[in-house]
Amino acid sequence: MQDANSSMPRPLFHLTPQRNWMNDPNGLVFHRGRWHAFFQYNPEGADWGNMSWGHASSADLQHWEELPVALRYQPDEQVYSGSVVASSPEENGQLTAYYTSAFADGRQAQSRATSDDGGLTWQRDAANPVLDRGTTAFRDPKIIRFQNRDGGFRWIMLAVEADDRQVLFFSSTDLRSWEHLSTFGPIGAAGVVWECPDLIPLTVGGRPDDVRWVLLLSTNPIGEDADPQGSSMSFLIGEFDGTAFTTESPELQRLDHGRDFYAGVSFDSAPDGAATILAWMSNWRYAGDVPSSPWRGAMSLPRRLSLLEVDGEARLIQEPPTFVTEHLASLTPATLPTAPHPSVFTLSGHSLVDLHWDPAATGPLRIRLQGDADAIVELVHDTESQILRLTRSGTAADAIHPDFSSTSAVPLAANRKAQLLLSLDGPLLEVFIDGGQATTSNLVVLGSGTVSLTVETERHSSITMATVDLRSPAETGTTVTEDLHPALV
């Protein structure tokens, strides 16, 4: 029997707390040269509760330093999700946080806090809650800037009425008083709550005159017949005129096709205005059943969003962070003949794998990951059915929760060349498909040792592949180095 620690080895290049429970990312902001992530955190245990904002910061989005709890729960107030915005240095360099006060009487309302020391300590506003509708599922304030036509800007807050499947828009010029502008929704399937909205302007193909607004939403099934697939993220592409969000295609589109990518929101003030999001890699369906060791909860890789025009339509692209692409660019890819024999490699389990091939020549491609736990992760990429299937199975997976063993499907574009980037960091497996045209992010239970990677195709043809194992700073002394090994066969 595996203990929790060995079935959930601690990730090396993702944000996890040292110990205790973590869920949503909160208050993501780039400030004074560092990336700050606050997060839903229980300072006292490995289960959801005592909700507070934990805090970590990073210079490179790869190595995170955990800092003291930023906003602590109080006897009658839980500190739920929210956001942080940085004012410019000319203003006063202050950070402003908005979070949901979830009061003991069931009310949920938006509260404000400010920090003058770069997010280490916070002063709650004496007038809290500053935005209160007297309702019980009004939460997850996300503040963005909106450029007025006259060159000035105003603040826009999005928050959900979670049970009504609505996003409410408010505006402010002083980050204190808010005017209700409009309400979007409900749309899409009932039987879910809407949580953690965000609204991100993106240019199509980098053309400055063609800006679309992407509304991000997290939806969590509720009720007795709740969908066993659990929580997931969706998006809509539309317009925002400073008052209301409108869209011509009111179908929620899936943002990530895996089981474990939730509550993703973007960083405020990212360099070059890049739209970088971070999400919680778990699922409310079983988050409380995942072994704690002694941490429970991890963030995804930060990913950069952009829009590309494909077949006359704007398509959302999600790319891995620069540190990942830099690692891969430094490698010499090797060519690997597959079929009739599978190719087998040994990975440390904290690894990046980049594969390029021609599916018309190879037929379906099958990848298997197996460690020392009694569980398997299998990916089958089939351009004929235009689906990539990812299956988690085995006793170790079944032991987590009855719905953990499962297959998720990712629709594929009919591209002639195919590409997969796998990022495996302990229990976190993220797959970027065809340059980020689709993604699937999943928790996996492969065990604590090395992981064998098997690549197999139906027909004989070659595949180009590069892998790199990332090492922890502790293993290598004070500086961080990486163990590079091109996949030579």
- Output 97 or 196, the one with its CB closest to ligand FRU: 196
Rounded to whole angstroms, the Cα distance separating 134 from 113 reads 20
Question: CB burial class (10 A; 0-12, 13-18, 19+) of residue 363?
Answer: middle
- Output 24 or 425, the one with its CB closest to ligand FRU: 24
Do residues 159 and 108 make contact, with C-beta atoms less than 8 angstroms apart? Answer: no
CA 214 to chain centre: 16
Number of residues that bind ligand FRU (CB under 6 A): 12
Cβ at position 284, least distance to ligand FRU in Å = 7
Q: Restricting to residues 445-474, name those near ligand FRU by CB under 6 A.
A: none
Cβ at position 102, least distance to ligand FRU in Å = 7
Q: Restricting to residues 46-65, name those near ligand FRU by CB under 6 A.
A: 51
* Catalytic residue list contains 24: yes
- Output 27 or 447, the one with its CB closest to ligand FRU: 27
**Cβ atoms within 10 Å, residue 163:** 15
Among 195, 354, 430, 469, binds ligand FRU (CB under 6 A): 195
Among 7, 40, 115, 351, binds ligand FRU (CB under 6 A): 40
Query: Beta 295-296 vs 20-31: how paired, if at all?
Result: parallel
- Output 23 or 351, the one with its CB closest to ligand FRU: 23
Cβ at position 360, least distance to ligand FRU in Å = 42
- Output 79 or 410, the one with its CB closest to ligand FRU: 79
Do residues 205 and 307 make contact, with C-beta atoms less than 8 angstroms apart? Answer: yes
Rounded to whole angstroms, the Cα distance separating 56 from 145 reads 24
The Cα-based distances of 281 to 237, 300, 308, 365 in angstroms read 24, 6, 26, 26
Cβ at position 111, least distance to ligand FRU in Å = 12
- Output 81 or 391, the one with its CB closest to ligand FRU: 81
- Rule CB under 6 A: say whether 260 interacts with ligand FRU: no
Catalytic member of 3, 24, 227, 403: 24
- Output 165 or 327, the one with its CB closest to ligand FRU: 165
| DSSP track, 128-194 | -SSB--S-SSEEEEEEEEEE-TTS-EEEEEEEEEGGGTEEEEEEESSSS--EEEEEE---S-SSEEE
| DSSP track, 383-409 | TTTTEEEEEEESHHHHHH-TTTSEEEE
Cβ at position 68, least distance to ligand FRU in Å = 19
Q: Restricting to residues 222-251, name those near ligand FRU by CB under 6 A.
A: none
- Rule CB under 6 A: say whether 196 interacts with ligand FRU: yes
In one-letter notation, the amino acid at residue 137 is A
Q: Restricting to residues 305-334, name those near ligand FRU by CB under 6 A.
A: none
- Rule CB under 6 A: say whether 351 interacts with ligand FRU: no
Among 139, 285, 327, 392, binds ligand FRU (CB under 6 A): 139
Among 263, 376, 379, 470, binds ligand FRU (CB under 6 A): 263
- Rule CB under 6 A: say whether 24 interacts with ligand FRU: yes
Rounded to whole angstroms, the Cα distance separating 335 from 340 reads 16
Cβ at position 263, least distance to ligand FRU in Å = 5
Rounded to whole angstroms, the Cα distance separating 221 from 192 reads 4
Cβ-based neighbours of 429, under 8 Å, separated by 6 or more? 369, 377, 422, 423, 441, 442, 443, 444
- Identify whether 89 is preceded by a cis peptide bond (ω within 30 of 0): no
Cβ at position 266, least distance to ligand FRU in Å = 16
Among 7, 42, 100, 439, binds ligand FRU (CB under 6 A): 100
Do residues 421 and 434 make contact, with C-beta atoms less than 8 angstroms apart? Answer: no
- Rule CB under 6 A: say whether 41 interacts with ligand FRU: no
Q: Restricting to residues 70-99, name those near ligand FRU by CB under 6 A.
A: 80-81
Cβ at position 44, least distance to ligand FRU in Å = 15
Rounded to whole angstroms, the Cα distance separating 111 from 99 reads 5
Cβ at position 100, least distance to ligand FRU in Å = 5
Dihedral sign of CA atoms 45, 49, 55, 60 in order: positive
- Output 193 or 336, the one with its CB closest to ligand FRU: 193
- Output 141 or 371, the one with its CB closest to ligand FRU: 141
φ, ψ dihedrals at 390, nearest 5°: -120, 125
Residue 115 token pair: 């920090």
Cite the active site residues.
Answer: 24
By CB under 6 A, name the binding residues for ligand FRU: 23-24, 40, 51, 80-81, 100, 139-140, 195-196, 263
